[in-house]
Amino acid sequence: MTEFTPYLSLLGGVLIGLSATLLMALNGRIAGMTGILSGIIPPLSHDWEWRAAFLAGAILTPMLFVLAGGTIAFAVPISTAALVVGGLIVGVGVSFGSGCTSGHGICGMARFSPRSIVATVVFMIATFITVFVVRHVIGA
């Protein structure tokens, strides 16, 4: 069971929303993590600097939180092989879906993009089915 952390969850949501809003307002870009990441993998995008800074902030902020005395309850109840396979499946899905959950689910839905709303519904249905199969059919 995941620990219920309403205040940290609210703070995290506010920070994600703030970063997405600032990126759109200041750079005119969508805060889709897959699109941002693809710009720093060779061949580098012409605007790789802000992409690297955005990703560095996403990585360093939790580290600073822990250094300040906070704790992050995190457990991975599956094997590394399952994580790799899941990552590859998500990577293929991101390619076919023309974006990831952050680009479509946070930024696209906030802009009332019909394509993003449909993509997010498909993501969620696939998630429900996957969790059901893994937990109740396979029994992992």
Domain boundaries, the chain: 1-75, 76-140
The average pLDDT across 92-113 equals: 87
Q: Residue 45 corresponds to which tokens in the numbers above?
A: 């995008």
Q: What is the mean pLDDT of the chain?
A: 88
What pLDDT is stored for residue 66 in this prediction? 93
Residues 6+ apart with CB under 8 A from 83: 76
What pLDDT is stored for residue 72 in this prediction? 82
Residue 121 confidence (pLDDT) above 90? yes
pLDDT digits (tens, 9 = 90+) for 18-49: 999 999 999 999 888 888 988 999 999 999 99
What pLDDT is stored for residue 79 in this prediction? 87
Q: Are 101 and 30 in contact (CB under 8 A)?
A: no
Amino acid at 84: V
What element of type H or E holds 45?
A: none
Q: Are 108 and 119 in contact (CB under 8 A)?
A: yes
Residues 6+ apart with CB under 8 A from 119: 97, 98, 99, 104, 105, 108
What pLDDT is stored for residue 114 in this prediction? 95
Residue 1 confidence (pLDDT) above 60? no
Q: Are 124 and 109 in contact (CB under 8 A)?
A: no
User: pTM of the entire structure?
Assistant: 0.74
pLDDT digits (tens, 9 = 90+) for 53-98: 999 998 998 899 999 998 887 778 788 998 899 888 888 888 888 8
What pLDDT is stored for residue 135 in this prediction? 85
DSSP 124: H
